[in-house]
Chain A
């Protein structure tokens, strides 16, 4: 397929575990050993208490639709209008993503609806975490 790719992330040493995780089919978050905060995006210290005692874990991949827009302008990597959505993860952090495998309409994209991560490889190195309606068949 010759469809243009999205602008791709370039991992840094602090984010590599996250992108390795999506390649492996895991949505990886981090937790502070001192204050128990779970946070995203990745960094090797806690943004709540500055502790460096943090670890990486695989999140559930479940969340809800916190907010979104539906972009109407043409983007070479997308076919028609598409959602740019904030997903509220079950573990606490939020992340930006797209809601896929459903019509990109306000009627279909209902706030607070449950979502499930869907990993989509976009290059040899990069797999993006997208989200679908929970229970929807892939």
Chain B
């Protein structure tokens, strides 16, 4: 069976504050940039996947007549699931060339729909009556349980943001680049105890797009192809209060190992890693749920600079959702950084990196998608 490769990848021309574009146009700007990267036009695209907006809307807006669409929308990791589904679609001949787009006017709110939970939904009935106000007050709920169970300190949680700012300081496209220390984090405004402002993701505008096709054709494009070695996906619950284990994401635990098994790699093979960080505790959960650290050990692992520049496991090397950008559905940007690392063109390039593991989260620990990227085709 043929492999599948990324042959086009790009973000929006600008990132951060883009009040002169609607959300739909952010999709289009990223898509046009990815097409230019691949040397293709919309007429070459026969598969389309997107989330946040409907594939019908995007296909029409972009001028695509697809034979395969995927509108899987499970939160910010939806694009990882799209990659997994696109691999299957290409391998089974449903389409040849897939465009996956993301655009989100997260900061400016231009042309963006609402996210209110229906009063009759589970969240509307069983969480909203108690006063949550979005992710800062939902995604963050489990972490005190983790801190108690494993003895993680506030300083250790803060270190996640500090290390990622080290990476962001090397990236001219990152929203925040000034170095910070643990005290800076702990002295920043409290948003939802125990989370301070600098432990919460940015809220920015932007987009990204990927173009996938069969590995057999991967040499026909102007830029270095990045091979998809393995993928995984899962969902758990729309209610953070109903997670099976508040200290672990079941979706991470399924999707991550599935992708690694699918790729045929071990932990030692991973040269570079992205863990979707809407909040500072997510890399800690991700490292443990995927077995890179034992239970309760990830905070120490990060504290000891293992994920920092020069460390053994470079993590969130674009600066992550905490410092690089976070439009709301950040998964696309995590994959863009994996692709840049595999192409050898990242702002903070990891020397010699050949395998990148990218882990996404959707909702409030509600879903996960994972993709293993590589510089070489799967064996």
Chain A residues at the B interface, C-beta cutoff of 8 Å: 12-14, 43-50, 52
Contacts and interface: CB of A to CB of B under 8 A. Distances in A.
A48 B63 contact: yes
Nearest to A43: B61
Interface in B16-47: 19-22, 24-25, 28, 32, 35, 41-42
Given A47-B63, A49-B41, A50-B42, A13 B21 contact: yes
Task: Give the interface centre of B19, B35, B41, B111 by most chain A CB atoms within 10 Å.
Answer: B111
A49 B21 CA distance: 21
B62 interface: yes
A52 B32 contact: yes
Given A50-B35, A52-B32, A14 B62 contact: no
A14 B21 contact: yes
A47 B25 contact: no
A47 B62 contact: yes
Contacts of A13: 19-22, 25, 110
B229 to A, nearest CB: 31
Contact of B41 (A14, A43, A50, A52): A50
Contact of B110 (A12, A45, A46): A12
Contacts of B35: 50
B25 A43 contact: yes
B258 to A, nearest CB: 36
Nearest to B110: A12
B41 A12 contact: no
A135 B32 CA distance: 44
B149 to A, nearest CB: 47
Contacts of B25: 12-14, 43-44
13 contacts: A12-B110, A13-B20, A13-B21, A13-B22, A13-B25, A13-B110, A43-B28, A43-B61, A46-B63, A49-B41, A50-B32, A50-B35, A50-B63
Chain A interface main SS type: loop
A13 B18 CA distance: 11
B22 A12 contact: yes
A91 B24 CA distance: 25
Nearest to B22: A12
Contacts of A48: 63
B374 to A, nearest CB: 30
Interface in B44-78: 60-63
Contacts of A47: 60-63
A20 to B, nearest CB: 15
A17 to B, nearest CB: 13
Contacts of B111: 12
A41 B61 CA distance: 9
Contacts of A45: 28, 32
Contacts of A14: 21-22, 24-25
Contacts of A44: 25
A46 to B, nearest CB: 8
B63 to A, nearest CB: 4
Interface string B97-113: 00000000000001100
Given A50-B35, A50-B41, A50-B42, 4 more contacts: A12-B22, A45-B28, A46-B63, A47-B63
A14 B32 CA distance: 16
Nearest to A41: B61
A13 B23 CA distance: 10
A49 B43 CA distance: 8
B328 to A, nearest CB: 18
Interface in B235-268: none
Nearest to A37: B63
Contacts of A50: 32, 35, 41-42, 62-63
A55 B46 CA distance: 28
